[in-house]
Amino acid sequence: MRFILEIRLRIFVIFFLLFCILLQGEAHEAESGFVTCGSLVKLINTRHNVRLHSHDVKYGSGSGQQSVTGVEAADDANSYWRIRGRPGSACQRGVPIRCGQAIRITHMKTGRNLHSHHFSSPLSNNQEVSAFGESGEGDDLDVWTVQCSGTFWDREEAVRFKHKSTEVFLSITGEQYGHPIRGQREVHGMPSPNHHNYWRTMEGVFIQPSSDSLRHDEL
């Protein structure tokens, strides 16, 4: 009888240890987390260490649309962007963004979408990137695909954004503006992937999945 009790105790200890290991794995996954639909984030260019930024200042050439730049300051509210689905496609709040998914990146303060088109950028003569639309609604040139290595866009991963229509990559190569946005970096589109077009999330509010998105119907 004693022998049976010892066996049961050992089995219990083994299962308890396995349970603890599983819990640690789940906690680590939740801590790292994914970027989800509806999240409000700042995006930093990993090569030049500046955050994607916009403001109600229009380009003096090219499209004349709202300019998009890179800034060093970490505390500028004009560097917040909301991650949304493409036009006409459902993107449920809190659901992780898949690698390869088409999204819109909407400027929080002005409600305009990250946008590109066949205009030359003012400093480097690459493709212009602007902010376009009103109240989050623009056109098909607001759509970008997330290029990452796994199944979902991990918060800690450096990713690329490829423009859906013109196939350029969101990039910075270091050119700086003068007045009235002195010191800010030009953001533009480049035709090929390279070390100038890697971005990572920094500060932000990451929307968690709701109970509705996690609930499954029982048969």
Specify the pLDDT at position 215: 30
Q: What would the mean pLDDT of 162-170 be, rounded to a whole number? A: 98
Q: Which residues pair with 159 in a beta bridge?
A: 199
For residue 91, is pLDDT > 60? yes
| Alpha-carbon radius of gyration of the chain | 22
Q: Which of 161, 144, 153, 162 is nearest to 96 (CA)?
A: 153
Both tokens of residue 191?
A: 């035709």
Q: Which of 172, 176, 163 is nearest to 198 (CA)?
A: 172
For residue 26, is pLDDT > 60? no
Q: What would the mean pLDDT of 6-15 be, rounded to a whole number? A: 46
For residue 122, is the peptide bond before it cis, meaning its omega torsion is within 30 degrees of 0?
Answer: no
- Judge whether 52 and 68 are in contact, CB under 8 Å: yes
Residue 7: band (very low, low, confident or very high) from pLDDT cuts 50, 70, 90: low
For residue 37, is pLDDT > 50? yes
Give the long-range contacts of residues 56-64, CB within 8 A, separation 24 or more: 56/109, 56/110, 57/180, 57/181, 59/122, 59/128, 59/130, 60/122, 61/122, 62/119, 62/120, 62/121, 62/122, 62/128, 62/130, 63/117, 63/119, 63/128, 63/130
Q: How many CB atoms lie within 10 A of CB 99?
A: 17
Longest CA–CA separation in the chain, Å: 88
Q: How many CB atoms lie within 10 A of CB 95?
A: 19
**Amino acid in position 192:** S
* 138 or 218, greater pLDDT: 138
Tell me the backbone φ, ψ of residue 52, rounded to 5 degrees.
-65, 130
Specify the pLDDT at position 179: 87
Tell if the pTM clears 0.85, that is, is over it. no
Specify the pLDDT at position 15: 44
Give DSSP secondary structure letters for 92-141.
Answer: -TTPBPBTT-EEEEEETTT-PEEEEEEEE-TTT-SEEEEEE-BTTB--GG
Residue 210: band (very low, low, confident or very high) from pLDDT cuts 50, 70, 90: low
Q: What would the mean pLDDT of 24-49 be, rounded to a whole number? A: 77
Give tens-digit pLDDT for 109-121: 999 999 999 999 9
The conformation of residue 2, written as its DSSP 8-state character, comes to H
For residue 24, is pLDDT > 60? no
